Amino acid sequence: MCGIVGILGTQPVAGNLVDALKRLEYRGYDSAGVSTVENGVLGRCRARGKLRNLQSRLEEMPLKGHAGIGHTRWATHGAPTETNAHPHMTDKVAVVHNGIIENFKSLRERLEKAGAHFETETDTEVIVHLISQALEAGAAPETAVQSALKELEGAFAIAIIFGGHDDLMIGARRGSPLAIGYGDREMYLGSDAIALAPFTDRVCYLEDGDCVTLTRTSVAIKDENGHPVDRKISQSQASAMLVDKGNHRHFMAKEIHEQPEVISHTLAHYVDLSRNRVEIPDFNIDFATLPRITISACGTAYYAGLVAKYWFERYARLPVEIDVASEMRYREAPMQPGGLALFISQSGETADTLATLRYCREQKQHIASVVNVRESTIARESDAILPTLAGPEIGVASTKAFTCQLTVLACLAIRAGCERGHISSDQEMELVGQLLEIPRHISRILHDEKLFEKIAHDLAHSRDVLYLGRGSSYPIALEGALKLKEISYIHAEGYAAGELKHGPIALIDEDVPVVVVAPRDELFDKTVSNMEEVAARGGQILLITDDGEAADSFSTASNFILPKAHSFTNPLLFAVPVQLLAYHTAVFMGTDVDQPRNLAKSVTVE
């Protein structure tokens, strides 16, 4: 998943391309590059690593063209070197690409036999040579692109400019998102509306299979069959402001601290505050007759879904099937028509989640999605959108989006419980009241942040860390382990506490810290038994609980004592300490907290 942008402008565009790429850097930051066409001649500037490297290069060797394309890369095929950085080009054409060309090997062999000289290890370069060959054979740019597109297999979005054409840009999408921005005698292409927000708020999302030919004053879209089509232009809500870190050192810290506020905003959207009742806007599912819910998502969003499984099953007696989207999309799971398929995604662009959504649509499921980016592909392809009001999440490690997803899912579970007759009116008021307390409780945890800093210093010296939890704390243990490994690069695993003795206990010795997520609920004593098993083997325990007395009686553990809340809302609360532990460990280790190695914020390839 990479970020692509294109501008047909009235001034030199390199600076604006870089500005747009800054807004797309969440999609990848292995390398970046821009290419412009000036008096018919293509020029290019690329740099390995973050965008600031490209910016310095451009200061040394400016590009002056008024038409150009840009790219920020998350490497799939080929190492993250400057040579493999996009745009890829010949003297006839320059291409930026997001996605994967699955049949690139066979295409490359064929093109090489025909005399094409490849410079990179990327799959993208085949597109360049396919188009160049067609141009050499005398095809017009649009025809050359159309013939290349017919050869490509896989998911992609591309933007192309041409030598000899200062007023022409072509874009195409299959699987990966691409939007057109309409300016004043200027035209734009971008992976999302956020990239285009500084230039225009008039945006049109291309449909799968579309190919668009742009000049500064014209837009011609053809669908997958080559038929001219009109696509709706909408007013984008994406903000032109580049979100900043405020007084925080990292976006992740800012986003952790925003949680009380954004959870309140999210609750205000789903709760009638005058009556403490859940009201889900624009959601017409009848939970009373629903046989089951299928939930699918990836990474942290999947763990939010796993918490929801505990909630739906316990509080609404509603069976839940849940799987990571990368598995579910290929499982060919049989589904009873008319069921509810629920997808969870911060970005709304995750390729596996989107593919599973499409599979579930084929299986005649009603599609609902919990998304943070309302203009995303997943949102647009859903029958019902359940927005999280987390605001832009920039840090690659998801924090506030996760707790907002939990907030929405908790409201949904309450509504399901009410409609199915398992939550009475009084219980609904009680549970909603408990949810409304969460922002205050989280503020208290954040107030004690220094405690986490201290423990994180010890954690930073570990090679492996285990996280344990039971019931709805089990997904929080998984989330804690994911957070730690993705930003600190320390190996961490989350386990259901009861599973410990079935294998993982063999890992325990005095060098392996075990973080135990254990609110004082009906499963607490069971988890304490598992802690005893760890202690007996010399393991160091870090107990996160809400019962100070119980924690004190367990003398060998370091403890974090959280405010006492309802067992229903505990996952929201216990998510915060595991975020803080991971954050401070990573800061102590000096890793790139907001843009950890090898990762990207939005995973638009499978």
Binding site for ligand M6R (CB under 6 A): 298-301, 345-347, 350, 353, 396-398, 482, 486, 602-603
Question: Active site residue: 309, 400, 485, 601, which one?
Answer: 601
- The answer to whether residue 601 is catalytic is yes
* DSSP summary character for residue 444: H
CA pair distance 349, 381, nearest whole angstrom: 11
* DSSP summary character for residue 488: H
Instruction: Report the first-to-last Cα separation within the chain, whole angstroms.
Output: 9
- The answer to whether residue 485 is catalytic is no
Least separation in angstroms between residue 351's CB and ligand M6R is 9
Of the pair 266, 350, the CB lying nearest ligand M6R is at 350
The two three-digit tokens of residue 328, written as one number: 């579910």
3-class secondary structure, 439: helix
Looking only at the bridges linking them, the beta strands covering 513-517 and 464-469 are parallel
**Cis status, amide bond into 87, omega within 30 of 0:** yes
Least separation in angstroms between residue 169's CB and ligand M6R is 28
Q: Which residues contact 365 (CB under 8 A, 6 or more apart)?
A: 294, 335, 337, 338, 339, 340, 341
3-class secondary structure, 561: strand
Least separation in angstroms between residue 60's CB and ligand M6R is 34
Of the pair 33, 475, the CB lying nearest ligand M6R is at 475
Question: Active site residue: 2, 298, 360, 411, which one?
Answer: 2
Instruction: Supply φ then ψ for residue 184, to 5 degrees.
Output: -95, 100
Of the pair 191, 300, the CB lying nearest ligand M6R is at 300
Instruction: Supply φ then ψ for residue 315, to 5 degrees.
Output: -95, -20
The two three-digit tokens of residue 259, written as one number: 């949680």
CA pair distance 239, 465, nearest whole angstrom: 39
CB atoms within 10 A of CB 506: 9
Of the pair 176, 350, the CB lying nearest ligand M6R is at 350
Of the pair 356, 398, the CB lying nearest ligand M6R is at 398
CA pair distance 379, 371, nearest whole angstrom: 7
Least separation in angstroms between residue 383's CB and ligand M6R is 18
Of the pair 74, 188, the CB lying nearest ligand M6R is at 74
Of the pair 316, 465, the CB lying nearest ligand M6R is at 465
Least separation in angstroms between residue 353's CB and ligand M6R is 5
Of the pair 36, 602, the CB lying nearest ligand M6R is at 602
Least separation in angstroms between residue 44's CB and ligand M6R is 31
Residue nearest to ligand M6R (CB): 299
* DSSP summary character for residue 250: S
Looking only at the bridges linking them, the beta strands covering 31-38 and 219-222 are unpaired
Q: Is 344 in contact with 317 (CB distance < 8 Å)?
A: no
Q: Which residues of 400-417 are buried (b: 16+ CB within 10 A; e: fewer)?
A: bbbbbbbbbbbbbbbbbb
Least separation in angstroms between residue 492's CB and ligand M6R is 13
Residue type, 85: A
Question: Which helix H or strand E contains 211, and what residues bound it?
Answer: strand 211-214
Least separation in angstroms between residue 480's CB and ligand M6R is 11
Residues known to be catalytic: 2, 601
